[in-house]
Chain A
Amino acid sequence: MERFKKGLGKTRLALKSKFNILFGSSELDQDFFDELEEILLSADVGVGATMKIVDSLREQLRLEKIKKRSAARELLKELLTGMLESDHQAVLSLAPSPPTVYLILGVNGVGKTTTIGKIAYRFIREGKKVLLAAGDTFRAAAIEQLEEWSRLTGADLVKHQSGGDPSAVIFDAMNAAVAREADLLICDTAGRLHTKANLLEEVKKIYRVMQKALPGAPHEVLLVLDATTGQNGLSQVKYFQETVPLTGLVLTKLDGTARGGIVVAIKDLTGVPLKLVGVGEKKEDLEVFQATEFVEALLV
């Protein structure tokens, strides 16, 4: 969690001055709500979710007869945490008996391969045997990129030729995972824009193949989202969710100045929870998402 906070630290600095104004000692007036709206909008929370947050905060403040800005702060934190928290407490699901299989999806350039390397490292550190499937057969040198991650983390790799059928690679990898008694198989896929119907069909096929190869698989279908993404993030989740049932999100590049506020709108509108956050380029730069800490770090 330390690194996560460090990642958010830069954000925190930028926000500190603003929130001092917002949560200072002065009275609640229209300026307060305008400022709050601006802060949420500038964090990519989006117009819809921002209005909703501001309105419910206003309503609650009225009901509880709160007149001071400082007192409004705890309420806002509660509100945001409530919006982000998920009923599913277990972070990443595991198969009742190994191998556990994860499918990683996302648009181009969000950091899928890097995220896979980081997830692999987490499990290997716990003494688990991890296998990677080089399912991005489309992008130039994507297989080599995953190969480097397998060397870096000590995970095994199953690959085919570039340009091959991703479903076939993943099918082979699933058989290999059983044969080699791996604990976890993580399947990479090519980056694809959510508006390309034919590429979403390919995802459906991959999903079907996984279900057939091993009952109960995939145990997680994670959509990787770039923290710098704006309102389009919502569209990404919606389209992918219509294609295959997503089990969670991974928010990457949170070590920059972007705050990834779109996940608030995503959780609110689609219910898909954020599970992991990426906070750097190194293999250990992946943290489990926790709503309270996320909001806390945002509002310090």
Chain B
Amino acid sequence: MLFGTLADKLQEVFRKLKGKGKLSEKDIDLALREIRLALLEADVNYKVVRDFVNTIRERALGAEVLKSLTPGQQVVKIVHEDLIELMGRKQSKLAPADHPPQAVMLVGLQGSGKTTTAAKLALFLKKGGHNPLLVAADVYRPAAIEQLEVLGKEAGIAVFSRGKDDPVNIGRLALKEAAREGNDYVILDTAGRLHIDAELMAELGNLKARLDPREILLVVDAMTGQDAVNAAGTFHEKLGLTGVILTKLDGDTRGGAALSVKAVTDRPIKFVGVGEKIEAFEPFHPDRMASRILGMGDVLSLIEKAQQVVDVEKSRTLEKKIREQALTLEDFLEQLQQIKQMGPLEDLLGMVPGFHQVGKQLKGLDLGEKQILKIEAVLSSMTLEERQRPGIINSSRKRRISAGSGTTVQDVNRLLKQFDQMKKLLKQANFMDKGRTRKPRGFFPFR
């Protein structure tokens, strides 16, 4: 899970700090040491870490913390603020195509994911009502042109290619074609290159000079380590980047490269690639990412995802059913299918505030996709009547259900029991909600 371990570590540090009524310089130094190690393990560049820790130290030793009644909380607040600062304050969008056709250059090291990203960005723009043109300007890597053509076809986006012609020439012709065809954005997939390859870097310089792109975006693999600053620094120095796209964020990388690249180029991260599918591409939200690092969850993203798949009418009915305690297994199955549409469960849970701690407490809880498949199989093997009135499921029915779903009677029993427990929990929640006897135990903002 992205930033998982870093979040765990930082929260451990914060927990210790928050328990104290008074902080000494020694307490703060100890906490800063932990923060330093956590950031280093997350691949944040060591120089960036040093500056970051020094800034926090200065502020933490300042009056605002020492005079505070809750010094621990203050330190957490400072770390959070500085983390957002380091990652860029607010979301940064792609420059508008005021004077179409407008060139957008994608540049980066080999294997960072430029070709896939080019297609993803084009699809993203198309969905936003634009008319992009993809340009195959990687004339070096074997089959790079074919790859872009296949992806373009898949996304329904025109691809301009002129074989292994000179990239500058290809770019020039592509802009002409775009003017003719009425394309507003012209996205160039350039060849991957090392930042120390003078000849190929000069080629990018020529492309820039001839095409006058409004955007030059550096595509960076989120798994990159300390070298991210060298590569990004040189690309920025030679080309003048306008932004960054972070790829392969769907793995378990802690993604410290994001912080390093932002720090060394001072250019915003505009988009992130979050999967192999061509739709797996999102605008980057620095504030949400900072919250995620600190384990405060990313509720906004979760809600957005839910809104994409949840039928409003259906949720109203469901809410009513929960209030009236009339929830059935049929509703359960429906919910399960909606959740599945929202993406991998593990990613979703990562967005839930405080889940890092909860997850550790629930040892042995298998939240894998396999488990969901199993539950779904059991539910699907029941008749509609059984799902609506689970009470009628006797042992003979259980045997039939388990045989039908390829599970055991124990699996069926477990599911029924869990459903019962869930209903009880909901009942309690209802009660609390009505009576307002207790404050809801939310995790926000700092727990």
Contact = CB atoms under 8 A, between A and B. Distances in A.
Q: Do A and B bind each other?
A: yes
Interface of A: 10, 38, 41-44, 46-47, 107-111, 113, 138-142, 144-145, 147-149, 152, 162, 193-195, 197-198, 226-233, 235, 253, 255-259, 262, 281
B142 A108 contact: no
A259 to B, nearest CB: 8
B307 interface: no
Given A109-B221, A232-B253, A41 B46 contact: yes
Nearest to A109: B111
B341 interface: no
29 contacts: A41-B40, A41-B46, A41-B226, A44-B225, A44-B226, A44-B227, A109-B248, A111-B111, A140-B151, A141-B149, A144-B142, A145-B141, A145-B144, A149-B142, A152-B142, A194-B252, A198-B369, A227-B227, A229-B221, A229-B225, A230-B43, A230-B226, A231-B225, A232-B225, A235-B252, A257-B195, A257-B196, A258-B225, A262-B225
A232 B42 CA distance: 8
Q: Which 7 A-B pairs have the closest CB atoms?
A: A230-B225, A109-B111, A230-B43, A148-B142, A140-B150, A141-B147, A258-B227
Given A144-B146, A145-B141, A229-B223, A108 B248 contact: yes
- For B143, B148, B252, which residue has the most chain A Cβ atoms within 10 angstroms? B143
Contact of A230 (B112, B143, B223): B223
B12 interface: no
A259 B230 CA distance: 12
B147 A140 contact: yes
Contacts of A162: 150
A38 B46 contact: yes
A145 B147 CA distance: 9
B143 A232 contact: no
Contact of A108 (B140, B148, B276): B276
Contacts of A43: 226
Interface in B89-133: 109-113
B37 interface: yes
Contacts of B369: 197-198
B368 interface: yes
Interface string B203-226: 000000000000000000101111
- For A138, A149, A195, A198, which residue has the most chain B Cβ atoms within 10 angstroms? A195
A114 to B, nearest CB: 8
B282 interface: no
Interface in B221-274: 221, 223-228, 230-231, 248, 250-254, 256-257
B46 A107 contact: no
B251 A107 contact: yes
B368 A193 contact: no
Main secondary structure of the interface of A (DSSP, over half): loop
Contacts of B370: 197
Main secondary structure of the interface of B (DSSP, over half): loop
Contacts of A144: 142-143, 146-147
Contact of A232 (B109, B112, B223): B223
B25 interface: no
Contacts of A10: 196
B276 A229 contact: no
Contacts of B250: 193, 195
B368 to A, nearest CB: 7
Interface in B26-76: 37, 40-43, 45-46
B154 interface: yes
Nearest to A193: B251
Contact of B110 (A47, A139, A253): A253
B254 A232 contact: yes
A62 to B, nearest CB: 23
Nearest to A42: B226
Given A228-B225, A230-B256, 11 more contacts: A42-B45, A47-B40, A107-B223, A108-B111, A108-B276, A140-B148, A142-B147, A197-B369, A229-B225, A231-B41, A281-B140
Given A44-B225, A144-B146, A262-B225, A256 B109 contact: yes
A197 B224 CA distance: 22
Contact of A256 (B226, B231, B253): B231
A36 B111 CA distance: 31
A228 B232 CA distance: 12
B194 interface: yes
Contacts of B223: 107, 226, 229-230, 232-233
A228 B224 contact: yes
Contact of A139 (B147, B224, B226, B227): B147
A7 to B, nearest CB: 10
Contact of A140 (B40, B43, B146, B253): B146
A255 B195 CA distance: 11
Contacts of B194: 253, 255-256
Contact of A145 (B37, B42, B143, B148): B143
A232 B223 CA distance: 6
Contacts of B252: 194-195, 232, 235
B109 A253 contact: yes
B54 to A, nearest CB: 15
- For B40, B112, B142, which residue has the most chain A Cβ atoms within 10 angstroms? B142
A64 to B, nearest CB: 29
B157 to A, nearest CB: 13
Contacts of A197: 368-370
A49 to B, nearest CB: 11
A149 B141 CA distance: 10
Contacts of B46: 38, 41-42
A145 to B, nearest CB: 4
A148 B145 CA distance: 13
Contact of A195 (B42, B144, B146, B251): B251
A194 B251 contact: yes
B116 to A, nearest CB: 8
A256 B228 CA distance: 11
A233 to B, nearest CB: 8
B221 A256 contact: no
Contacts of A108: 111, 113, 248, 276
A149 B221 CA distance: 25
B92 to A, nearest CB: 24
Contacts of B45: 42
